[in-house]
Amino acid sequence: MSDSLAPNFSSLKMIYPELLVTLEQAAAELEQFIADRADLLSFRACIDSITQIAGTLELIQVQGANQLATEIVEVAEAIDLEQEELADEHLGLISRAFLFLPRYLEYLLQTQRNLPVLLIPHINELRLARKQAVFADSHFYTPDFQTPIVPAKRMKLVGDEDVGALIKRLRHMYQVGLLGILKNKQIKPSFNMMQRSLHRMSIIQADSPFYSLWYLGSEALAHLSSSMELTPSRKKILGALDRELKLAIKRVGTDDQTATPSQTLSSDLLFIIALSGDSGETTSHLLAQFGLTLFSHTDAELRRERDVLNGPSANTLKSMASVLNDELIHAKDILERASDGGISSGEDLIDLIDTLKKVAEILGVVGLVVPGNSLKNEILTVESWQRAGRLGDDTAQLHLADILLYIESAIGGVGHSGLSDDSIARVNNQERQEVIAQSQLASARHIVISEAEAGLALVKRSLSSFTESSFDRAHINNVTVSLNAIRGVMAMLALPRAERVMRACIGFVEDTLMDSDEKPALEQLMETFADSVISMEYYLDAIKNDEGADDKVLEIAEESLTALGCPLE
């Protein structure tokens, strides 16, 4: 199953500071109203701010977040201030949503993972407050039900006279299993009973529109019984299948041609299957019949991301990283003075031990367990130095320095990756030298891209001066030098498409801007060329924090350069 429509992360990044300011302003207005219920102007201003945010999030396709903002507005608009107790409850829900909305936006920028399903519980809280139907986990994912699935092979059906009794027996079998699930007893055998029941139903109704529902139910139960979490919402799905069995009994012997399976329930079952991580042929073929593929994440990863979202924010983790770096600098200063013979007493070693313990403790909080354990081993060594009243030999000191470099690189590594759970797990699983090398490489990459951005900013200023001076070429004499430097960066980073764009830009400046004297024509050409430069600027910003950023934005530059008569090689 394919993920829901991905948000425009680059656009979100650009407008995030403004969104945050608007959110903070709305929160302050809400607090003002809570403190003074007569201040309806503040409450109205709060609602208007959130309405504006919802519209902006919808524009850049941030599914889930825009729905949460919309639900906040709906609850706020529906508050009856005369029912004081209920109003207090609804204002409390809005306040909690205010805290969670910016956290989710931060999470999106931090992880670049599009998981609107994480917001379903918070959205449903607000919907329940308005007595509206809650959203299923599959709400943001849309299968194609236009072509119903059919059995892969012809199945042997039972006689008409036996169907009613058989479906009753199969429902009883399903209910026995469901009761075991609800009581949390004999989970595996209970799932087997339920799965068997639905599999038999798919045989009985192989020629019916309900075949797909029973088949999907059987497959979903098979995945749920393996290692997937049995959440309350999924238990409701199991209950919904029981109700469908009840309706199937009522339909026996009738000639109801209008009955069709619930698409909502089918979507929920497909959601479970797509979340299973099963890349086998059967599952892939099944999803393909609905125009879907497996999710890019499994159920276990979804649980982990939920913990990340509900855990410390990126700002909290960045603060921890800042503290870590300060402590590491202090530890390296002590070690450097020690190696130079600057330690005159054991107090410095005690200070070093205390500093290293602080670092180890923070590493544990952040989740960098492996680097933290390496440091703990070194603390034991330094404690032995302190007891002996002297430093270890040069080899021991170099080993400690190497561990400090490893920890510094580990912090830098997760910092470049947004301090996400994935980046922390990756650092924990890597060898020490690999962590150091990758951190240094990431730092170097960040530096050269920043230099390319600075070069492009210089190009923009030069082109602007060129236009404003009625096309005085003195302003663009060095533009090709800057563009060529950017081209070199793209080549070094193995980004051939971007490099070709820069070659074409250089060609345009050399062959057209430096030669043409037709000012009216130049004005139009400059407008088109500016589109190419803006496209490249957007791309540089995207790859700065994401090596795998989509390069489709370069299509704008390519089309503009082609229009200028400088097609890419």
DSSP 368-401: -HHHHHHHHHHHHHHHHHHHHTS---HHHHHHHH
Cβ(508)–Cβ(441) below 8 Å: no
Which residue in the block uniquely carries the two structure tokens 């999470």?
107
Instruction: Classify residue 484 as left (phi > 0), alpha (psi -120 to 50) or beta.
Output: alpha
| 70 pLDDT more than 90 | yes
Mean pLDDT of 17-27: 90
Q: Which of 24, 11, 31, 32 is nearest to 50 (CA)?
A: 24
- When mean pLDDT is compared across 34-48, 182-196, 322-336, the lowest value belongs to 322-336
Assess whether pLDDT exceeds 50 at residue 56: yes
Per-residue model confidence as pLDDT tens digits over 487-536 = 898 888 888 899 999 999 998 888 888 876 666 677 778 878 888 888 88
Pick the most confident of 80-84, 427-431, 502-506, 519-523: 502-506
According to DSSP, residue 239 is labeled H
How far, in Å, CA of 428 to CA of 374, rounded? 11
Identify which of 14, 83, 79 has the alpha carbon closest to the alpha carbon of residue 46.
79
Tracing tokens 């924990």 back to the chain, one arrives at 428
Residue-wise pLDDT tens digits, 327-347 = 778 777 777 776 666 554 567
User: Distance between CA 48 and CA 64 in Å, rounded?
Assistant: 19
Residue-wise over 67-104: b if at least 16 C-beta within 10 A, else e?
bbbbbbbbbbeebeeeeeeeeeebbebbeebbebbbbb
What would the 3-class secondary structure string for 257-303 be?
CCCCCCHHHHHHHHHHHHCCCCCCHHHHHHHHCCCCCCCCCCHHHHH
pLDDT for 418 equals 47
CB-count exposure of residue 288 (10 Å: 0-12, 13-18, 19+): exposed
The most confident of 103-117, 423-437, 482-496, by mean pLDDT? 482-496
Dist CA 185 CA 57 (whole Å): 44
Residue 537 has pLDDT above 70, yes or no: yes
Q: What is the mean pLDDT of residues 371-393?
A: 80
What is residue 339's predicted lDDT score, i.e. its pLDDT? 66
Angle at 57 between CA 55 and CA 59, to 5 degrees: 70
Whether 39 and 53 have beta carbons less than 8 Å apart is answered as no
Q: Using an 8 Å Cβ cutoff, are 35 and 328 in contact?
A: no
**Average pLDDT value over all residues in the chain:** 81
Residue 44 to residues 73, 92, 118, 469, Cα–Cα distance (Å): 10, 17, 29, 49
Closest CA to 9 of 458, 552, 555: 552
User: Among residues of the chain, what percentage have pLDDT more than 70?
Assistant: 84
Interval 481-492 mean pLDDT: 89
Confidence grade of residue 281 (pLDDT, cut at 50, 70, 90): confident
Q: In the chain, what's the furthest Cα-to-Cα distance?
A: 99
Nearest of 200, 180, 199 to residue 190 by alpha carbon:
180
Least confident of 5-14, 115-124, 223-232, 465-474: 5-14
pLDDT band at residue 291 using 50, 70 and 90 as cut-offs: confident
Q: If you average pLDDT over residues 169-176, what whole number do you get?
A: 90
Q: Is 121 exposed, middle or buried (0-12, 13-18, 19+ CB in 10 A)?
A: middle
The reported pTM is 0.60
- Residue 529's nearest CA partner among 540, 478, 552, 537 is 537
Q: How far is CA 147 from the centre of its chain?
A: 32
Mean pLDDT along residues 378-393: 80
**Cα–Cα distance list, 128 to 93, 132, 404 (Å):** 11, 6, 52
Angstrom distance (rounded) from CA 541 to CA 534 = 11
Please report the pLDDT score of residue 523 as a whole number: 77
Q: CA 207, 211, 217 angle in degrees (round to 5)?
A: 165
pLDDT for 441 beyond 50: yes
Q: What pLDDT is attached to residue 126?
A: 92
**pLDDT recorded at residue 419:** 46
Q: What is the per-residue pLDDT for 313?
A: 53
Range with the lowest mean pLDDT among 61-75, 273-287, 337-351? 337-351
From first CA to last CA, the distance across the chain in angstroms is 38
pLDDT exceeds 60 at position 161:
no
Specify the pLDDT at position 366. 64
User: Does residue 521 or residue 99 have the better pLDDT?
Assistant: 99
Higher pLDDT, 347 or 430: 347
Question: What CA–CA distance (Å, rounded) separates 356 from 334?
Answer: 11
Q: Return d(Cα 560, Cα 522) in angstroms, integer.
A: 14
* 319 pLDDT above the threshold of 50: yes
Length of the chain: 569
pLDDT at 221 over 90: yes
In the CATH scheme, what is the code of domain 312-430? 1.20.120
Sign of the four-CA dihedral 417, 420, 422, 427: positive
Q: Between residues 285 and 239, which one has the greater pLDDT?
A: 239
CATH 2.40.128, applies to 443-563: no
Query: Across residues 263-268, what is the average pLDDT?
Result: 91
Question: What pLDDT does 2 receive?
Answer: 47
Where do we find the tokens 């059995």? 151
pLDDT of residue 340: 66
